[in-house]
Amino acid sequence: MKLKVPVNSYEASVKQIEAGADEIYMGLEDFHFNRMSYSARAQIASSGVHANLTEADFAKSVQFAHSKNVTVNFTANCQHITKSEGDFYRKNFLEYVRRGISLGADAVIVADIGNLIALRKNGIDTPVIAGSYLNCFNSETVALLKDLGVFRICIPDQVTFNEIKSIKKNTCLEIEIFVGYGCSNLAGMCRFYHNSGEQIHVGVPCRAKFIRNNEESVSIMDACPDCAICSIPKLYDLGIDSLKLIGREMNIEEIVNITKMYKSAIQQYAMEGRFDRKEIISSISWWENEMCCERCKYEDTCLLRSYI
């Protein structure tokens, strides 16, 4: 079971790989945009963090990753390619993908049916991962994506352990799931786009507080599943191929600590056949307070019991 983690600079690549990443994923800056990008994160997030890498940093990151037997996933997971004059927009997108591949990416993450088809039509045969924006909630969607030639599916946040088990049983494709911070809304169907290039501070809109029916102020939309530490043993036993953390738009130091924590959980279980939750989460002082109260992704908590 691989641990796949985000990077947003060469330094971040080194830190994440040293922290135990088996796979890294990253996007490339693109001169066609000022703030947006062909990846699911803007070149510049509203926090000011550069979420994608320059070509030079990308190439160095690939080289370092490969020297440590770490694979590189390239983010081409935008949803916004539409018809344009002379098809320049799709052509630029394909050029972006080719650049990433020529710089050494091992696989491409795609999140739009049109882009998936266009890649193959244009002779790009690099392995493709179906991103979570493709909303793969069931085995029929897996079958469709298999027909379109992907080798791995990234299952969205809000899918239960038993559902993942069922999906996995019905397919030969690799399965990737999220283990870190998650979304309240179904990511591929959410219109509160953030970290997309906006120059305003919208925060994380689904975690905002609202006055409900002119009375109390509550974070009524907050249904974020943010942690899967306790589920590592059963995910390992199930044979999940890859566990994904998010955070290209965040301070990478914070993400590195989370990477270390998940890596130690996986290693402890894989090597010693045991799992000491207390010991694992003690590496991040605030984790228990923030996460161990109904933020589980795959355990039977109130959040999961509210799933339709």
Partner 1 sequence: MTTYEMRIDRLNFNTDINYDNIQAFSIGHESCILKFFKVIRNNELLKFIDKEKNLGKQIRIITPFIPERHLAEIKDVLAEINNIKCFHNSVIIVNDLGLMHYIHKMNENRQLCLGRNLLACFDYAPWGHRIYESEDLHIQKAVSQVSLYDDEKMDFFKKYNVTETEADVTKRTVKSLKEIQKSGFRVNIYKSSFTYGLQRSCYIKRYNIDQGCSGMECEYSEKLDLDELWCGAEFYKEQENINFPSPLYIRGNQIYGRAHDIPCDWADSIIISPEQNNTYKGADI
> Taking CB under 8 A as the criterion, which residues in 79-138 touch partner 1?
79-85, 88-90, 112-115, 117-118, 121, 133-138
Residue 155 near residue 167 (C-beta atoms within 8 A): yes
Query: Which of 271, 272, 285, 305 is close enough to bind partner 1 by CB under 8 A?
Result: 305
- Identify any residues that bridge with 243 across adjacent strands, giving them in sequence order: 3, 177
Cβ-based burial of 55 (10 A; exposed 0-12, middle 13-18, buried ≥19)? middle
Closest C-alpha to 109, from 13, 204, 246: 246
* Cα pseudo-dihedral 59, 65, 69, 75, rounded to 10: -80
Q: What's the rounded Cα separation, in Å, for the pair 93 and 72?
A: 19
Query: Which of 189, 253, 272, 278 is close enough to bind partner 1 by CB under 8 A?
Result: 189
Residue 220 interacting with partner 1 (CB under 8 A): yes
- What 3 state SS string does 228-241 have? CHHHHHHHHHHCCC
Residue 40 is which amino acid? Answer: A
Query: Which of 16, 158, 231, 242 is close enough to bind partner 1 by CB under 8 A?
Result: 158
Query: Which of 126, 166, 171, 268 is close enough to bind partner 1 by CB under 8 A?
Result: 166
Tokens of 147: 């027909």
Q: Which stretch binds partner 1 (CB under 8 A): 65-73, 77-85, 255-263, 266-274?
A: 77-85
Q: Which of residues 137-156 bind partner 1 (CB under 8 A)?
A: 137-144
Number of residues in contact with partner 1 under rule CB under 8 A: 81
Smallest separation, CB 150 to partner 1 (Å):
13
Smallest separation, CB 230 to partner 1 (Å):
19
Smallest separation, CB 105 to partner 1 (Å):
22
Residue 293 interacting with partner 1 (CB under 8 A): no
Q: Closer to partner 1 at the Cβ: 51 or 65?
A: 51
Q: Which stretch binds partner 1 (CB under 8 A): 15-23, 55-63, 100-108, 298-306?
A: 298-306
Residue 295, phi-psi category: left (phi > 0), alpha (psi -120 to 50), beta (remainder): alpha
Cβ partners under 8 Å of residue 147, min gap 6: none
Question: At residue 164, what are phi and psi to the nearest 5 degrees?
Answer: -60, -40
Binding track, positions 31-60, relative to partner 1; x by CB under 8 A: -xxxxx-----x------------------
Closest C-alpha to 175, from 197, 206, 153, 201: 153
Closest C-alpha to 161, from 246, 258, 239, 224: 239
Smallest separation, CB 302 to partner 1 (Å):
5
Residue 66 interacting with partner 1 (CB under 8 A): no
Smallest separation, CB 116 to partner 1 (Å):
9
Q: Which of residues 224-253 bind partner 1 (CB under 8 A)?
A: none
Smallest separation, CB 240 to partner 1 (Å):
15
Query: Which of 63, 126, 171, 185 is close enough to bind partner 1 by CB under 8 A?
Result: 185
Q: Which of residues 190-209 bind partner 1 (CB under 8 A)?
A: 190-193, 196-209
- What is residue 133's DSSP assignment? G
